[in-house]
Amino acid sequence: MKVGLRMARRAVVLACAGASMWALAAGATRAQEIVIALGSEPTTLDPQIRQDGGERAVNDNIYEALIFRTPKGELVPGLAAEMPRLLDPTTWQFRLRAGVKFHNGEPFTADAVVASIARMLDPAVRSENLSYFSTLVRAEKVDDLTVNVVTKAPDSVFLSRMYWLKIIPPQHARSPGFATQPVGTGPYRLVEWVRGERVVLAANPDYWGAKPGVQRVTYRFVSEIGTRLSGLLAREFDIISNLQPEYVKRAPKIGRVPALEVPVVIPNAISGVTADARVRLALNLAVDKKAIAEKLFGGFASVSDGQFISATWFGHDPTINAYPYDPAKARALLKEAGAGGAAIELVGTAGRWLKDRETVEAIAAYWQAVGLKVDVKILEFDGYLKRLFDRQSRPQAIYVSHANPLLHADRTLSDYYHEKGRGSSNKDAELAALIERARSETDPAKQAEIYHMVMKRAHEQAYFVTLVGIDVLYGLSQRMDWTPGVDGKFLAKDMKVTR
């Protein structure tokens, strides 16, 4: 029997070796070819329909927009030859880059811009991204390389919207295979999409811009972070998405996008004990934000400076400081407001955002430490959303986490600062008036000024219990050289492989 066992062992080793040679031959780790492991597969490669992180991670390399964002966050001309001019308060004129072609040979002209906006706004298309473009009316062709885009009202977020709008080829977009055969103007074109297994992109040899270094990009889809990490350690993957802070020391290298996700607690400023601004300030002072950033997020989060927007978003006021951690003062304030030992309901959910439950529990513990009685309600996401958007009776305190792909304060302000916002808990008409004024102010400098007034007022009134900005982390293999930009997009043209 011993002989048999030995032979069996030898056979296993041989079989494994053979199979791994095959895997190598299949081209997992060759130079200038990289493998990116995402948490979810794209549901479609139509660039307009879904809100889908997997789709964006692929299509951001295939399609381009009129406006680009530099890694530092500035908006610059992309497919537009220069920044657009404002003809009148609601009409923007773009000059387009000449000589650009889609991967299938279709020329990039004003028709493509007109078609892209028309399709996005078409109710029959049922785009989930429509809310980003609800201010647009239409695009009009002036000549082949000039196009006017008309908005309903003066639109201060227009440039950010144009950065989010991918330009599609007018002919090919009408073909039934558009959702599986993406054709853009970008630095990469689709080689194959084997559903469930992989998407492969190759560098576009006719790209109008700087030629990318990485020649071939393969996307794999692995929903478990532990399994993605195993693949990174086994050198199957070069980049893995959504690395959690705990695993950072395991990953050979990391990429870090600061404060992309901003969690916050919204206290009810309309009724109950939290209607008193002193109580809301006390709730802020009671929480040790630094400890949450260090312990809960392993240092990969930064203390929010008293605003419910991230420092990388337009509208952020750098002169406002974070609420300090001062439990003694919090106690004093509560006593002064006659709310010492008051009961507070804190609503949260579990499993939707990074460490959502843990964050809520940590906050509850801090509030308890200053003498409040905290009733933590961790609800199913379904029930949680009902509470979050209940306009009739606001929850006394509710946790929410917010990311803003346009990196612009407008959306956050409309939803959570404005008294009529979907998730706001204040009745501050003055604040609402400021927000509305900012929305129609098209001079960026003046607009920023108004936003800063909004931020200062909300900070004084402590409408939010501000916490931390959470970094988005990527795990990188030793040979990868990549610093993700502020928007966290997977742009393969910015990546390099070192040997």
Kindly list the residues in this chain that would bind another protein in the complex (CB under 8 A).
1, 13, 15-17, 19-20, 22-23, 26, 40, 43-44, 49-51, 128, 131, 179, 194-198, 220-227, 229-231, 233-236, 244, 246-247, 249-250, 295-296, 350, 358, 361-362, 380-382, 385-386, 388, 415, 422
What is the strand order of the sheet 136-143 is part of?
A: 85-88, 91-95, 146-151, 136-143
Q: For the CB of residue 28, give the shortest distance to another protein in the complex, in Å.
A: 8
Q: Which is nearer to another protein, 287 or 362 (CB)?
A: 362
Does residue 90 contact residue 152 with C-beta atoms inside 8 Å?
yes
DSSP character for 324? P
Q: For the CB of residue 178, give the shortest distance to another protein in the complex, in Å.
A: 13
Going from the C-alpha of 387 to that of each of 49, 123, 270, 362, 393, the distances in angstroms are: 28, 29, 15, 21, 8
Q: For the CB of residue 29, give the shortest distance to another protein in the complex, in Å.
A: 11
Q: Which is nearer to another protein, 236 or 428 (CB)?
A: 236
Structure tokens at 311: 């420092």
Angle of the 277-285 helix axis to the 444-461 helix axis, nearest 10: 90
Q: For the CB of residue 9, give the shortest distance to another protein in the complex, in Å.
A: 13
Q: For the CB of residue 224, give the shortest distance to another protein in the complex, in Å.
A: 7
Does residue 344 contact residue 374 with C-beta atoms inside 8 Å?
yes
Q: For the CB of residue 325, give the shortest distance to another protein in the complex, in Å.
A: 16
Q: For the CB of residue 364, give the shortest distance to another protein in the complex, in Å.
A: 12
Q: Which is nearer to another protein, 163 or 221 (CB)?
A: 221
Does residue 385 contact residue 414 with C-beta atoms inside 8 Å?
no
- 3-state DSSP assignment of residue 163: helix
Residue position matching structure tokens 């298309």: 125
Question: How are beta strands 198-203 and 188-194 bridged, if at all?
Answer: antiparallel
Q: For the CB of residue 22, give the shortest distance to another protein in the complex, in Å.
A: 5
Q: Which is nearer to another protein, 51 or 321 (CB)?
A: 51
Q: For the CB of residue 19, give the shortest distance to another protein in the complex, in Å.
A: 3
Q: Which is nearer to another protein, 37 or 167 (CB)?
A: 37
CB neighbour class for 107 (10 Å; exposed up to 12, middle 13-18, buried from 19): middle
For residues 357 and 375, give the distance between their C-alpha atoms in angstroms, rounded to a whole number: 14
Q: Which is nearer to another protein, 49 or 476 (CB)?
A: 49
Q: Where does residue 222 fall: left (phi above 0), alpha (psi -120 to 50 degrees), or beta otherwise?
A: beta
Q: Which is nearer to another protein, 42 or 186 (CB)?
A: 42
Structure tokens at 173: 């977009």
Q: Which is nearer to another protein, 71 or 226 (CB)?
A: 226
Going from the C-alpha of 379 to that of each of 253, 423, 441, the distances in angstroms are: 36, 17, 40
Q: For the CB of residue 295, give the shortest distance to another protein in the complex, in Å.
A: 5
DSSP character for 109? -
Instruction: List all residues 6 or more positions away from 128 whose beta carbon is below 8 Å from its beta carbon.
Output: 49, 50, 51
Residue position matching structure tokens 């295979």: 177
Q: For the CB of residue 418, give the shortest distance to another protein in the complex, in Å.
A: 13
Instruction: List all residues 6 or more positions away from 389 whose beta carbon is below 8 Å from its beta carbon.
Output: 422, 423
For residues 484 and 382, give the distance between their C-alpha atoms in angstroms, rounded to a whole number: 33
Q: Which is nearer to another protein, 15 or 98 (CB)?
A: 15
Three-state SS for 380-439 is CHHHHHHHHCCCCCCCCEEEEEEECCCCEHHHHHHHHHCCCCCCCCCCCHHHHHHHHHHH
Q: Which is nearer to another protein, 291 or 328 (CB)?
A: 291
Phi, psi of 315 (to 5 degrees): 110, -15
For residues 369 and 424, give the distance between their C-alpha atoms in angstroms, rounded to a whole number: 27
Q: Which is nearer to another protein, 302 or 401 (CB)?
A: 401
Instruction: Tell how far CA 234 is from the center of its chain.
Output: 29
Q: Which is nearer to another protein, 33 or 361 (CB)?
A: 361
Q: For the CB of residue 255, give the shortest distance to another protein in the complex, in Å.
A: 19
Structure tokens at 140: 């009009």
Q: Which is nearer to another protein, 227 or 321 (CB)?
A: 227
Q: For the CB of residue 65, give the shortest distance to another protein in the complex, in Å.
A: 21
